[in-house]
């Protein structure tokens, strides 16, 4: 890869000589032409076939703003696989975009390292009433003030219709038209950087959505060798897979380079199958890291994996893929099951409080042990991997939206339990992720919604959702994914954020995030970790000791009765009470100057102490 990578496929405006150069990989075609659409007389221009199954050519009459389609062997017009913009949706023409026209103001931005991330996941369509990139910009100051350091945007690659989670995207390079298109996304990223916020973009490389998916007409993008829950697997290791691998690598570099994205979150990498000598994930991580260095920015790659496999984040020399981080769902499952008492579906592998302590100290609950739900051993040990390689949450789009009614924890847990759950995550030794609205206890659900144009596909989605919920015993009465009401009901209702008890929850999140910044021992990867669970009292303790001598000791009472804990004996110095969910400002009874040696934990509460003798940060 050149140190100054630029996108060569698709439609590229020639700045010096004028016109547009078109380039498309199409090994399945014998002839390819470009049709410029929108003029009184359609213009069709034949492209020349190169030795690498790429068809290319320059059209002098095309320019930024021109709409076009490809015709393969004289067939119907098709969107460009590398289209930068689809103004009329997945079936319409592609538009030529000049990526250099946007005026960036973030030249001094250098990114944020993994250990400093506090991620706030959001869905553009429901994050605001307008559902656009522009509207999201108005909310960034609130997130900065809260203590968030990065926003994670659910997929924005062009999907069918106007309502979708984004995982049905079919044009990976085109930014969703209803959100504001490519310049809308650039404006959001630029505004985030102005406020010191990084931007994580969710990308999908394990499958392509069904409606508007024309990639198979161009080349062997898919394989029948492997199966995924979402459709045909992407061809990463079969015949002619080199072109497919380049397509995906180009896409990752495209977001980093043309949109200044700081991190890519790779969706469900357990659905990426590659048995070649160099796994696509390792290749992608390496080239993205190299491009980040060329751009003088920290750029990260984070994988969502269901495998509990530390190979994802281990270095290449240790046989790993060297991603910068991975999602770790076990802590979520353990906290959720312990507080809600749910034990159906995959929650059957959890229950009680011991799994929480295990996840806090060992990254995964299942690290080679047998899973009753999976009926086999699952995962591998990962205690040798630094804690800043793991992203944890108590809520995210999957864990909420993939419930029958999209209900949040606020629909199930009490006020005290919500504060306790937040404390378990934000006092953990990992990178925290919040889901939009969580910080004030949003009551509205986040449900699954689509707006497909194919009725057969809509019926299949409805049926699939019902089948998915059988293991959880949630019944058939699920919200209709195709209904606009399902989408509207999922929008945030920020009007409650300033009311009690929601304002108290918001204050608690802000205080915990401030504590994470202040205490070295709470920085992911900085401390030695010791966690224990007492099933008899339902108390979990977590002791974090950093090399600098700083310590944080946290205790969590997951019961309806008050409990006592004992602070660790330390020499020299004592402890200072640093945080309590039971403080008056958080809706409790503790005074701000509560004694440090008060080791009583009220019902459903958490407290944290810091070493009094440690030097100030």
Tell me the catalytic residues.
Answer: 267, 304
CA dist 547 and 549 (Å) reads 5
Q: Report which secondary-structure segment, H or E, holds 489.
A: none
Q: What is the DSSP code string of 192-236?
A: HHHTT-EEEEEE--S---STT--HHHHS--EEEEEEETTEEEE-S
List all residues 6 or more positions away from 130 whose beta carbon is below 8 Å from its beta carbon.
Answer: none
Residue 202: CB atoms within 10 A of its CB come to: 24
- Which 8-state DSSP code applies to residue 583? B
Contacts of 231 (CB under 8 A, 6+ apart): 207, 208, 209, 210
Q: What tokens were used for 329?
A: 């769902």
Q: Give yes or no for a contact between 333 and 354, defined as CB atoms under 8 angstroms apart.
A: no
- Residue 188 host element (H or E): helix 181-194
Q: According to the 3-state scheme, what is the secondary structure of 161-183?
A: CCCCCCCCCCEEEEECHHHCHHH
444, 406 Cβ separation under 8 angstroms: no
CA 455, chain centre distance (Å): 29
- Identify how many contiguous H helices and E strands the chain contains and give both numbers: 14, 30
210 burial (CB, 10 Å; 0-12 / 13-18 / 19+) is middle
Write out the two tokens for 545.
Answer: 């000791």
**Rounded Cα distance, 410 and 501, in Å:** 11
Q: What is d(CA 387, CA 523) in angstroms, rounded to the nearest whole number?
A: 9
Q: Are the CB atoms for 284 and 248 separated by under 8 Å?
A: yes
Report the residue count for the chain: 617
* Whole-number Å distance between alpha carbons of 561 and 73: 74
Cβ neighbors of 223 (< 8 A, separation 6 or more) are 232, 233, 234, 235, 238
Q: Which residue has the tokens 């986040």?
A: 446
CA 445 vs CA 162, 449, 479, 488, 617: distances in Å: 19, 12, 11, 10, 40
């Amino acid at each position: 890869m050149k140190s100054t990578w630029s996108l060569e496929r698709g439609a590229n405006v020639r700045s010096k000589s004028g016109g547009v150069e078109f380039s498309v990989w199409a090994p399945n075609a014998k002839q390819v032409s470009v049709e410029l659409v929108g003029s009184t007389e359609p213009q069709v221009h034949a492209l020349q076939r190169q030795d690498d199954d790429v068809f290319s050519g320059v059209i002098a009459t095309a320019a930024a703003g021109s709409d076009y389609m490809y015709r393969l062997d004289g067939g119907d017009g098709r969107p460009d696989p590398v289209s930068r913009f689809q103004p009329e949706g997945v079936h319409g023409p592609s538009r030529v975009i000049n990526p250099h026209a946007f005026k960036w103001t973030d030249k001094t931005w250098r990114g944020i390292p993994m250990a400093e991330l506090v991620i706030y996941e959001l869905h553009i369509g429901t994050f605001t009433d307008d559902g656009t990139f522009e509207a999201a910009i108005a909310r960034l100051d609130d997130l900065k003030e809260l203590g968030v350091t990065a926003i994670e945007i659910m997929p924005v690659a062009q999907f069918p219709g106007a309502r979708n989670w984004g995982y049905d995207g079919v044009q990976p390079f085109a930014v969703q038209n209803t959100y504001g298109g490519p310049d809308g996304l650039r404006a959001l990223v630029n505004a985030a950087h102005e406020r010191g916020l990084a931007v994580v973009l969710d990308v999908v490389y394990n499958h392509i959505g069904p409606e508007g998916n024309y990639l198979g007409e161009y080349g062997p993008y898919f394989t029948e060798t492997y199966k995924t829950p979402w459709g045909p697997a992407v061809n990463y290791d079969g015949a002619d897979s080199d072109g497919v691998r380049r397509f995906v690598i180009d896409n990752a570099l495209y977001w980093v380079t043309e949109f200044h994205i700081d991190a890519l979150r790779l969706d469900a990498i357990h659905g990426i199958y590659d048995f070649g000598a160099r796994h696509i994930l390792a290749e992608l991580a390496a080239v993205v890291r190299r491009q980040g260095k060329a751009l003088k920015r920290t750029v990260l790659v984070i994988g969502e994996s269901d495998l509990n496999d530390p190979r994802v984040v281990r270095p290449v020399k240790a046989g790993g893929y060297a991603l910068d981080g991975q999602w770790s769902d076990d802590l979520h499952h353990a906290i959720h099951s312990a507080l809600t008492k749910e034990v159906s579906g995959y929650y059957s592998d959890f229950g009680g409080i011991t799994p929480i302590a295990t996840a806090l100290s060992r990254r995964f609950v299942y690290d080679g042990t047998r899973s009753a739900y999976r009926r086999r051993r699952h995962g591998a040990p990962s205690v040798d991997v630094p804690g800043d390689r793991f992203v944890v949450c108590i809520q995210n789009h999957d864990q909420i939206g993939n419930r029958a009614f999209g209900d949040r924890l606020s629909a199930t847990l009490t006020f005290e339990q919500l504060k306790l759950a937040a404390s378990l995550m934000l006092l953990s030794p990992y990178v925290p992720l919040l889901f939009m609205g969580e910080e004030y206890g949003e009551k509205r659900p986040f449900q699954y919604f689509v707006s497909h144009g194919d009725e057969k596909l809509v019926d299949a989605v409805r049926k699939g959702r019902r089948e998915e919920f059988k293991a959880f015993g949630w019944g058939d009465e699920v919200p209709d994914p195709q209904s606009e009401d399902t989408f509207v009901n999922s929008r945030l209702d920020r009007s409650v954020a300033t009311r009690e008890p929601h304002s108290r929850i918001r204050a608690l999140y802000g205080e915990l995030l401030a504590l994470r910044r202040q205490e070295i021992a709470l920085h992911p990867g900085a401390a030695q970790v010791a966690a224990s669970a007492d099933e008899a009292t339902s108390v979990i303790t977590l002791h974090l000791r950093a090399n600098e001598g700083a310590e944080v000791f946290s205790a969590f009472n997951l019961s309806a009765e008050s409990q006592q804990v004992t602070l660790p004996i330390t020499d020299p110095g004592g402890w200072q009470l640093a945080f309590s969910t039971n403080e008056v400002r958080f809706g409790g009874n503790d005074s701000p100057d509560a004694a440090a040696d008060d080791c009583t934990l009220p019902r459903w509460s958490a407290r944290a102490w810091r070493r009094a003798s440690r030097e100030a940060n």
